[in-house]
Amino acid sequence: MNKKPPPVRLAVIGVGGMAQVHMKHAAELDHVEVSAVCDTSRQALSEAAKQHGCPGFENHKDLLATDICDAVLIATPHYAHTTIGIDALNTGKHVLVEKPISVHKADCQKLIAAHTDKNLVFAAMFNQRTDPYFTKLKQMINTGELGRLIRVSWIITNWFRTDAYYAGGGWRATWKGEGGGVLLNQCPHQLDLMQWLFGMPTRVAGFCGIGKRHDIEVEDQVTAYLEYENGATGTFITSTGEAPGTNRLEVAGERGRVVIEDDKFTFTRNDIPADEFLRTSKEPFGKPSVSNVDIPITGHGGQHKQVLENFIDAIRTDADLIAPADEGIRSVELGNAMLYASLTGKPVDMPLDGEAYERKLQQLIAESTREKKTDTAGPRDISNSFA
Ligand SMILES: NC(=O)c1ccc[n+]([C@@H]2O[C@H](COP(=O)([O-])OP(=O)(O)OC[C@H]3O[C@@H](n4cnc5c(N)ncnc54)[C@H](O)[C@@H]3O)[C@@H](O)[C@H]2O)c1
């Protein structure tokens, strides 16, 4: 009889709010076991080690010096994604890193450069790529069903957070502790989907409100304008201070318009493509007639659990990754560009100068008057993370 292959031994580094979800999923999945946990907080560490019946490490370097795991899942505050990710890849571990893969573009480049051994699986937790609303839209764009894109607009203002969230302490909402605000914490999912669906823009203008709605030193409100190579334009609007808030993605192509909002996928198809109609119609105020195409979609896909399972499958069977980590640089660069454009008052011609952005961030850290925050656990409510 064939012996069952051993499960992938996964060490979880940073056992806060999000990691609790990942460890629950790992326990439900075949072919993976949590073989170790690591956290700089003794209390969080001892609770997690007890709960999962595995050894705990206070320092990731001590963990990586052992042979206790094949793979690591990094769910620490953002700056540590880069340092721990580099150390893990250099010690021959497969890596699944939470979003954002790093705080800024130059750190992303350092992290990605450490992935020299291509036998190691290096993935990022972009769980919203599993959502059928977005996979359907991607398929429509790729097959040309929407025609050439003219405009994309995402209003994602339902990331509402109270002062209590930010006042909870920990690493959040400072330049030094977190490295940014809504663009870095809540929006990496939408920024990743923007680049995954529409590619990278060639130009980015941004207008960010720094501590506009909360007593924080980072951005909590953003309006950005994007230009794409094919002439399409985009807007991206986000906030953590608006209620009830909106999550509406609208994509206009020559062949029609898709709106994704409130669990509805609405496709209004132009019977004659807009560019053809506007060139050929003799009616000054005419418009192409439309057909409403019903696209029923149920549920939001496998999300975090599916990305974790895919990571394990990629280690065991070479499955294609849902979200290769090197693609994570794009959402970071987009967010960095929006902020940089706002801070400098000038649109950014892409690609962003990563070194210039890093210098700007260092300046913000140096000029900060906020109390020095440490990497200890902050608020742990992730209820809106699955939106
Ligand atoms: N994919 C998603 O939907 C989603 C949702 C929420 C959070 N996240 C991401 O998950 C990560 C963690 O967020 P969270 O909400 O769980 O934060 P958290 O503050 O609840 O947990 C972070 C944990 O990391 C520990 N830690 C800090 N520095 C460390 C280090 N150097 N080594 C080991 N442990 C360290 C802290 O003590 C804490 O226990 C962030 O990158 C965040 O953006 C992703």
Gap between the Cα atoms of 302 and 307, Å rounded: 8
Average pLDDT of the chain, as a whole number? 94
- Does any ligand 1 atom lie closer than 6 A to the CB of residue 124? no
What pLDDT does 167 receive?
A: 84
- Does any ligand 1 atom lie closer than 6 A to the CB of residue 13? yes
- CA 236 to ligand 1 centroid distance, Å: 26
Whether 150 and 250 have beta carbons less than 8 Å apart is answered as no
- Does any ligand 1 atom lie closer than 6 A to the CB of residue 157? no
- Closest atom of ligand 1 to CA, residue 78: 41
- CA 67 to ligand 1 centroid distance, Å: 24
Question: Exposed, middle or buried, 335 (CB in 10 Å: 0-12/13-18/19+)?
Answer: buried
The answer to whether residue 334 scores a pLDDT higher than 80 is yes
Gap between the Cα atoms of 28 and 213, Å rounded: 40
Gap between the Cα atoms of 378 and 362, Å rounded: 23
Pairing status of strand 32-38 against strand 56-57: parallel
Question: Of 385, 132, 151, whose CA–CA distance to 260 is shortest?
Answer: 132
Helix, strand, coil percentages in the chain from 3-state DSSP, rounded to 5:
35, 20, 45
Assign residue 84 a region: left if phi > 0, alpha if psi is -120 to 50, beta otherwise?
A: alpha
* Residue that is written with structure tokens 């209004």 in the block: 268
What pLDDT does 379 receive?
A: 40
CATH of domain 8-128+303-322: 3.40.50.720
- Does any ligand 1 atom lie closer than 6 A to the CB of residue 99? yes
Q: What is the mean pLDDT of residues 301-328?
A: 98
- Closest atom of ligand 1 to CA, residue 18: 16
- Does any ligand 1 atom lie closer than 6 A to the CB of residue 80? yes
Read off the tokens for 331: 């959402």
Query: Within a 13 Å sphere around the CA of 345, how many CA atoms are in the beta-carbon half?
Result: 0
Whether 44 and 288 have beta carbons less than 8 Å apart is answered as no
What pLDDT does 339 receive?
A: 98
- Closest atom of ligand 1 to CA, residue 16: 21
Q: pLDDT tens, 126-152?
A: 999 999 999 999 999 999 999 999 999
Residues 6 or more apart from 359 whose CB is under 8 A from it? none
- Does any ligand 1 atom lie closer than 6 A to the CB of residue 147? no
- Pocket test of ligand 1: the residue of 40, 82, 187, 322 to mutate, having most ligand atoms within 8 Å of its CB, is 40
- Closest atom of ligand 1 to CA, residue 58: 33
What pLDDT does 4 receive?
A: 75
Sign of torsion over alpha carbons 280, 285, 286, 288: positive
- CA 60 to ligand 1 centroid distance, Å: 14
Whether 208 and 219 have beta carbons less than 8 Å apart is answered as yes
- Does any ligand 1 atom lie closer than 6 A to the CB of residue 170? yes
* Cis, peptide link before residue 55, omega less than 30° from 0: no
Gap between the Cα atoms of 271 and 166, Å rounded: 49
Binning pLDDT at 50, 70 and 90, where does residue 371 land?
low
What pLDDT does 172 receive?
A: 86
Q: List the beta bridge partners of residue 239.
A: 221
CA 184 to each of CA 51, 60, 192, 246: distance values in angstroms, whole numbers, following the listed order? 31, 23, 11, 19
What pLDDT does 369 receive?
A: 87
Global pTM?
0.95
- Correct CATH for 129-302+330-367 of 3.30.360.10, 2.40.50.180, 3.40.50.10470, 3.40.50.620: 3.30.360.10
- CA 376 to ligand 1 centroid distance, Å: 9
- CA 167 to ligand 1 centroid distance, Å: 17
The answer to whether residue 373 scores a pLDDT higher than 60 is no
Binning pLDDT at 50, 70 and 90, where does residue 65 land?
very high
Q: List the beta bridge partners of residue 56.
A: 37
Q: pLDDT tens, 66-124?
A: 999 999 999 999 999 999 999 999 999 999 999 999 999 999 999 999 999 999 999 99
Residue having the nearest C-alpha atom to atom 2 of ligand 1: 385
What pLDDT does 294 receive?
A: 86
| Domain residue spans of the chain | 8-128+303-322, 129-302+330-367
* Residue that is written with structure tokens 């946990």 in the block: 37
Q: pLDDT tens, 156-168?
A: 999 999 999 998 7
